[in-house]
A and B are shown apart, each in its own frame.
Chain A
């Protein structure tokens, strides 16, 4: 930590490197892109491009990492959101009475592959919620979207994940 209280990129790398890499890996889904993303995040920290507000260091890093990831994704958009059905029920056809085995296990690699199949905006919301553990309010502030949008993205993202992994 520098004298001004603003974390240096060296602090981040030394003390939060594993956390930062985990977030980057869960967002990108592969080591090469995760490394590139981490480097971009650290460069932003180094250049003072992101304002640090005293509080959760991991929340701050998550926000930078996710927005850097989404900025890159928007630049090379490959899977527009409008390809997804609007209603969750069309993603997950209702099957009244179906028995879902809650104890069923999925391999981490399979879950990661399924995450990669989500549109980036949904993936970011799911990762911020279920990997990092942010509240809907915090996710909304991180992504600069209303809480209702956060809720919708998380729910649809989970519905798609369940569909892909079933």
Chain B
């Protein structure tokens, strides 16, 4: 577009004007139009405000340990793009395991402190390993138990 239609409002050229995306001659023409047109002046003010709000959005910190977990675990290269990798669920499994271990250490709910077979660490390891293969086990499990073999 080499020039604006006489009498027409500027529409999306207003954002282009705001973003310095108009050629110099068109920008001058657009400014002259805005100076005379309350509708376009209002619209320019509105998109200027909207742009300022979005530009003021701060950077967002990823959840603590998010990348560290991926770097530790390594991404499963064979996983399909699209389906989720369930790292958060894996983290949840690990958290559940840690909680179970804490319960054991503290003896909560186990006044007789009998030995557990299999041991909690092995149970946690087995669950975490099962979850790490990529299947959405955790959501399918609850409230069922995990079929894990300890026959080795």
* Chain A interface (Cβ < 8 Å from any Cβ of B): 9-10, 13-14, 17-19, 21-22, 25-26, 31-32, 34-36, 38-40, 42-44, 46-47, 49, 68, 72, 75, 87-89, 92, 94-98, 100, 102, 104, 106, 108, 111-112, 115, 126-127, 129-131, 135-136, 151-152, 154-159, 161-162, 165
Q: Which residues of A contact B133 (CB under 8 A)?
A: none
Q: Which residues of A contact B4 (CB under 8 A)?
A: none
Q: How far is the CA of A9 from the CA of B51 in the complex (A)?
A: 32
CB distance from A13 to the nearest CB of B (A): 4
For this complex, into which size category does the number of interface residues on chain B fall?
Answer: 35 or more
Q: Which residues of A contact B48 (CB under 8 A)?
A: 102
Dominant SS among interface residues on chain A: helix
- Nearest chain B residue, comparing its CB with the CB of A42: B75
Q: Are the C-beta atoms of B53 and A22 separated by less than 8 Å?
A: no
Q: Which residues of A contact B82 (CB under 8 A)?
A: 40, 72, 75
Dominant SS among interface residues on chain B: helix
Q: Which residues of A contact B38 (CB under 8 A)?
A: 94, 96-97
Task: Render B55-85 as a binary contact track against A, CB cut-off 8 A, 1 for contact.
Answer: 1111111110011001100010101011011
B47 within 8 A of A: yes
Q: Which residues of B contact A36 (CB under 8 A)?
A: 84-85
Q: Are the C-beta atoms of A112 and B61 separated by less than 8 Å?
A: no
Q: How far is the CA of A26 from the CA of B43 in the complex (A)?
A: 24
B98 within 8 A of A: no
CB distance from A128 to the nearest CB of B (A): 11
CB distance from A127 to the nearest CB of B (A): 8
